[in-house]
Structure 1
Amino acid sequence: MTEMLTFDALKQKQRAIRAGFPETMGLRVHRAISWIGRSEACAGDDDARFIFLWIAFNAAYADEREFQSGPQDSRATFLRFFRQLTQLDADCRIYNAVWLRFAGPVRVLLKNHYVFNPFWQHHNGIEGYANWEERFNASSHAFGAAFQSGETASVLSFVFDRLYVLRNQLVHGGATWNSSINRAQVRDGAAILGVLMPLFVDLMMDHPDADWGRPFYPVVS
């Protein structure tokens, strides 16, 4: 079973080795750990925990270059980050987290069309999405193939593509706090992020000299 890294463990490690961090990477880790810590204060509130953990994810992966070039496809950006993490994950900690701990919740999440973006595009009257069911089935097949072949980065990309829809529902007021309607995906989403985000940050600290890009909103004096 993959270990559950806590804010205290991450912070202790960061303080011990942060002198060797490049400035931009150090800022990413500092910010991400702070939001992981805030999420731990939300026991019993999965909505808040999910949102704070997603902010930690943004702190860890989002690149300043996206500001310069305009909005990018989030899935492609996620996939680049996940490929880098999995290539550096010599002990297969991410693989074990996904396959051993969350195989069930991940499969349930990917079968839920309420966190599939084309479903909502169609129901919001946007043209070109009448075939959302075909897209959903194609996505499910592609996910199944990636899952069966052990392509961890691709599996993470599919999972976070769905979690991104859930993030939008919460952040943009498209859901009711503590609603019974979307409780399962919020609960599972918070649980998945609660294990993966500390693991992502820990791997980043193990490889501080990798190219993690420049973070959004650098500190300006």
Structure 2
Amino acid sequence: MSDLDHEQLKTRQRALRDGFPETMGLRVHRAISWIGRGESCADDHDARFVFLWIAFNAAYADESQFQSAAPGERTAFTDYFGRLVALDDERRIYKALWQRFSGPVRLLMANHFLYNPFWQHHNGIIGYDDWDARFAASGRAFAQAFQNGDTARVLAFVFDRLYVLRNQIVHGGSTWNSKVNRAQVRDGAAILGFLMPVFIDLMMDNPDHDWGKPFYPVVM
């Protein structure tokens, strides 16, 4: 299972882009640009993670998310995963999760510092005294999904943890290049670095699928 890189994606996008619907073409163009930026700082795991998360946002975020007070971002990217997995005839996502990244994925899931209810409790938010029981239940549900080969659900669990990591970095809740919690940043960047090109490649394989409308189109 070889890695796709920015140059391969860009070459394919140039060959196919005339047949892309406008909104889908914009998503792919933007996402590939951020994948390339992430590749350019491979030794800076914090920066690589952030740039790859921007690529993820470019690929999936729909304007409907921004039309309500509580957009439910995690629900939106869970829907996106379902669509990708249904179109993944070669099971590239499955193979990545079960073979290449099974160890890092399990470590992410076992890390309570990437579990949002832990931080809610730690910060004194009422109603999260049972965070540890919730964490254990989440781990059992993940293990069941993993055992059942439910790729979309496993992705949802993994990105739920990565979303907490994203918040920690983007909202200033961590130190750049810190000696603390390096493994989760490194593993998160590696997982995104492999999966994002696969996601974009699947979108280019299926340009007429409804990938939603970007909230920020190009306006001249």
The answer, yes or no, to whether TM exceeds 0.5 is: yes
Say which SS state the counterpart of residue 166 (structure 2) adopts.
Answer: helix
What is the CA-CA distance between 1:72 and the residue it aligns to? 2.5
- Structural mapping, 1:69-108, within 5 Å: 69-108=68-107
- 3-state SS of 2:2 partner: coil
Q: What are the ranges of 5 or more consecutive residues in structure 1 without an aligned counterpart?
A: none
Task: Give CA-to-partner distance per residue, 1:62-113, whole Å, 9 cap, x none.
Answer: 0001111233323221210000000000110110111110000000000000
Matches within 5 A, 1:48-63: 48-63=47-62
Give CA-to-partner distance per residue, 1:25-70, whole Å, 9 cap, x none.
0000000000000001102100000000000000000000111123
The whole-number CA distance in structure 1 between the counterparts of 2:3 and 2:154 is: 20
TM-score by length of 1: 0.98
Q: Which amino acid aligns with 1:194?
A: G
Supply the distance in 1 between the matched residues of 2:50 and 2:37 (Cα, whole angstroms).
10
Q: Following TM superposition, by how much is the alpha carbon of 1:215 offset from its aligned partner in structure 2, in angstroms?
A: 1.0
Amino acid at match of 1:61: Y
Deviations, residues 111-141 of structure 1 (Å, cap 9, x unaligned): 0000000000111111111110011001000
Q: Which runs of 5+ in 2 are unaligned?
A: none
CA distance in 2, matches of 1:39, 1:74: 22
Displaced runs of 4+ in structure 1, greater than 6 A? none
Distance (Å, rounded) in 1 between the aligned partners of 2:25 and 2:17:
7
Give the secondary structure class of the aligned counterpart of 2:28.
helix
Quick one: percent identity of the two aligned structures? 68
Q: TM-score, normalised by structure 2?
A: 0.98
Within 5 Å, give how 1:17-56 maps onto structure 2. Answer: 17-56=16-55
Shift of 1:177: 0.4
Q: Distance in 2 between matches of 1:12 and 1:132?
A: 47
Distance 1:185 1:93 in 2: 23
Is the contact made by 2:65 and 2:73 (CA closer than 8 Å) also made in structure 1? Answer: no
Matched length: 220
Distance in 2 (alpha carbons) for counterparts of 1:65 and 1:73:
10
Q: Deviations over 1:124-170 (max 9, x none)?
A: 11111111001100100000000000000000000000000000000
Amino acid at match of 2:91: C
1:113 aligned residue? 112
Larger mean CA deviation between 166-175 and 74-83 belongs to 74-83
Name the Cα RMSD after superposition. 0.7
Q: CA deviation at 1:171?
A: 0.3
Letter of the 1:161 counterpart: D
Task: State the secondary structure of the residue aligned to 1:211.
Answer: coil
Partner in structure 2 of residue 179 of structure 1? 178
**1:211 Cα deviation from its structure 2 partner:** 0.6
**Is the partner of 2:208 in helix, strand or coil?**
coil
